Amino acid sequence: MPMKIIITKDFDDMSATASEIVVDDIKQFQKTKQKKDNYVLGLATGNTPTGLYKKLAKAANSNEFDPEAIVSFNLDEYIGLPGDTSSERVLHPESYAFFMVQELFGLLNKKFKKSYVPAGTEIDLNKLLAELDKYKNDSSVYEFIGSDAGKQILIKPNGPSDYLNYINKEILDAYMDKIKKFGGIDLHIVGVGGRGHLAFHECGIPLDREALLVKLDDNTVGNAVVDGHFKEEVFAPKYAISMGAKAIYRAKTVLLVANGKRKSESIAASLLGDVTDKVPISMGQEYAKNGGNMIYVIEKEAAAGLLNKFDELKRKGFEVVNKL
């Protein structure tokens, strides 16, 4: 299936275009009931999808589709937000669970049937760090995987650490099992990290990963401050739970939304360059070649590196829709 690239005028146009794609896909599914009862929607956080979510909620509240027949799965969640308990951490204003309530779930008159966010707030950061330190010289327990500063913490099965085994089985594996239980994700909304990373699948982590425990890249931590989520880097979390690229690109449709100049270089590299773990969103090329429905909806600043490359994009087999 050819990759489709839609270049929009501004943030509102990007949000409206992306929302139309999501709503149309939900309506088509709910009309035909494609062999399962519930439409499964993958959700991203960050500033980029906020306009899309407002428009999606408006469509739901106008009865364009039935939100009560939707199950959602979020991409990622922080580890190490302030709070002595999981309940305190999940209610922190910068938790992704709290974000979803503010930006989408709390706007719906009728709620989704089920909504899941990775259980990063259930992890006690101090316990995690203590276990990592205890077994830091034992690669049979865990390893740091990745060529850049951000690393996957790959926990080996059935090791001596009960706490690491708990994270592996009850948080990472359990999240993937829930997605499989509901028949997989029908459409996944994703954004773009500053260097082209995908959720918290950081640059340099191999692309064949499903669920990740991650030590975040300095760039990711810094951007959380630049974007106004934390006052200083010392307050920003350094660890997270995330879906990996392999899990994300298993969805029937992946809808990538992006705005802002900061994203333009990685957007261009993901389409004009090779598939590489240095730019995780580049996996969309391989996904589309293998039959996945890959759609980029990007506003003009994020598309800056593509505006004089339409012929090259078309030679690569991409469909380009220019709304400027």
Instruction: Give the model confidence (pLDDT) of 215-257 as tens digits.
Output: 999 989 998 998 888 999 999 999 999 999 999 999 999 999 9
What's the confidence (pLDDT) of residue 34?
Answer: 63
- In angstroms, the Cα distances linking 122 to 89, 142, 180, 229, 239 are 8, 20, 22, 21, 13
pLDDT band at 32 (very low <50, low <70, confident <90, very high): confident
Residue 142 pairs with which residues in a beta bridge? Answer: 155
- Sequence-distant (≥ 6) Cβ neighbours of residue 29 within 8 angstroms: 39, 186
φ and ψ at residue 172, rounded to 5 degrees: -75, -60
Give me 262's structure tokens: 């900061």
- Domains present along the chain, CATH in parentheses: 4-322 (3.40.50.1360)
φ and ψ at residue 253, rounded to 5 degrees: -130, 135
pTM of the model as a whole: 0.96
Helices (H), 33-168: 50-61, 86-90, 96-103, 125-134, 162-166
Over 232-285, what HEC string results?
A: CHHHCCCEEEEECHHHHCCCCEEEEEECCHHHHHHHHHHHHCCCECCEHHHHHH
pLDDT digits (tens, 9 = 90+) for 140-186: 999 999 999 999 999 999 999 999 999 999 999 999 999 999 999 99
Q: Are 267 and 258 spatial neighbours (Cβ–Cβ below 8 Å)?
A: yes
